[in-house]
Chains A and B, each alone.
Chain A
């Protein structure tokens, strides 16, 4: 087996997306609308609440929103549905013929597709937050947010593969993506910081993997120097990778027995 397949998968997918100006423009336009609206909402909320909401100032919430939205919008929203369709249609069965693991190639390819969109969203988000609210609240926290952004996307991609693997048994994962994204939106802290939630819900959300996919990079970008959050992401990355591998290994064995 050629050991270069992860690099080839990531780079070739990234190059294809980078060449598609229409797709990048769409992602950028969508990101600007979503991030502007949510940032405006939270800034308005801080104004009527004496300058802070749950310990966050308007500036911090703006940086929180641009980071949380960037790591979410960079991904293909319907990835779970696409993976499910590929499993159900037999496309995954054909991929088993390659001399490389199906899950690894798929995750690397999708990571490659996300990276150009992530770069565009992060760049636009930085400009948007600086012009509408002000400079980053803390340079050290922002430096920690850089790896957290990539880890969040990686973690989310692997988790989506683990979730979509249900299609090996149900032959359909269409309604799963709805549920999954709503978990990231609320329990993952994409729409609102975990500190805004009632304490019991905050505790539940902090114990779930979704926080690693949006809350962690957003919390760091909002100026909180909490490097231990990167360890939380690495932990969930390992757990999700193990879960996705277990699901795909079992699913692939089933495909080989039943046929694709």
Chain B
């Protein structure tokens, strides 16, 4: 645990090494997120409400998504690069260390751009989420659970590269879950909606936490916690199994 904490501290120092670039990247992502808020404002200005979703509820969804996304893609930025690392020999460096490879890889790199999401998520919740002690607690726990689901899914699809020898599945999985998570889940129906709660668990990343903040119930909270634990366990298992098939490229790269 100490080694993982020390690695994370080193990654944070590395990200802050160029303060100008750090803050400009953070601001660029925040600006990017603001454009999405403008889109939803224009959309709901014209449409009103959509199957129970209105502007304030979608902004809550967006706050949960950017917070969970900021944690996974900013703090654990290698979660989305597992496939790329497996293809390019990027895991070699981790295997030589006396620490479990997956936790080390996850905290090895912090991405300043996506930390902008995290900051934006907090800000959006503070401004539009009507924060009370209870709602803030649900928001924090819900976003952490959403982050666990997102990280678990990304590591799982990235680890498929060990078996398939191609990283496109991981990249497509990343884009699919982020995109699907950023829309109200009730616009979908039938098989697509079932898929959002199972194969591509986008609903658990943002929509379920946002619904819990608005209307808390214990059953949904327990389901979210169970799904988060399930995806974390699946990610660990698939990565560990895949690692047995990993072959070095003899290129000493930086994870």
Please list the residues of chain A having a beta carbon within 8 angstroms of any beta carbon in chain B: 22-23, 25-26, 29-30, 33-34, 36-37, 40-41, 44-45, 48-49, 53-54, 174-175, 178-179, 182, 185-186, 191-192, 196-198, 201
Contact = CB atoms under 8 A, between A and B. Distances in A.
Nearest to A38: B183
B131 to A, nearest CB: 27
B32 A33 contact: no
A14 to B, nearest CB: 20
Q: Sort A-B residue pairs by CB-CB distance and give the 8 closest, nearest first.
A: A182-B35, A175-B28, A44-B187, A45-B47, A26-B168, A29-B172, A178-B28, A33-B176
A29 B39 CA distance: 24
B50 A48 contact: yes
B29 interface: yes
Contacts of B141: none
B183 A37 contact: yes
A182 B192 contact: no
Interface in B97-118: none
A191 B25 contact: no
Interface string B31-62: 11001001100110111111100000000000
Contacts of B179: 33-34, 37
How would you classify the secondary structure of chain B's contact residues: helix, strand, loop or mixed? Answer: helix
A36 B189 CA distance: 12
Contacts of A191: 39
A26 B171 contact: yes
B93 interface: no
A24 to B, nearest CB: 10
A185 B39 contact: yes
Contacts of A33: 172, 175-176, 179-180
B254 interface: no
Given A37-B183, A41-B183, A185-B39, A178 B31 contact: yes
Given A37-B180, A182-B35, A185-B35, A196 B28 contact: no
A196 B43 contact: yes
B188 interface: yes
How extensive is the interface on chain B, given as a class?
Answer: 20 to 34
Contacts of A29: 168, 172, 176
B87 to A, nearest CB: 11
Nearest to A41: B187
A22 B168 contact: yes
Given A44-B187, A185-B35, A49 B171 contact: no
B139 to A, nearest CB: 24
Given A34-B179, A37-B179, A41-B183, A48 B47 contact: yes
A44 B31 CA distance: 28
Contacts of B39: 185-186, 191-192
B172 A30 contact: yes
B28 A53 contact: no
Given A40-B192, A41-B183, A41-B187, A179 B45 contact: no
Nearest to B176: A33
Given A178-B28, A186-B35, A44 B180 contact: no
A81 B25 CA distance: 13
Contact of A178 (B29, B176, B183): B29
25 contacts: A22-B166, A25-B168, A26-B172, A29-B176, A33-B172, A33-B175, A34-B179, A37-B183, A40-B188, A41-B50, A44-B50, A44-B187, A45-B46, A45-B47, A48-B48, A49-B48, A54-B46, A175-B24, A175-B25, A175-B28, A178-B29, A179-B31, A186-B38, A191-B39, A196-B46
- Which of A29, A34, A198, A201 counts the most B-chain CB atoms under 10 A from its CB? A29
A174 B22 CA distance: 12
A218 B187 CA distance: 22
Contacts of A186: 35, 38-39, 42
Contacts of A174: 25
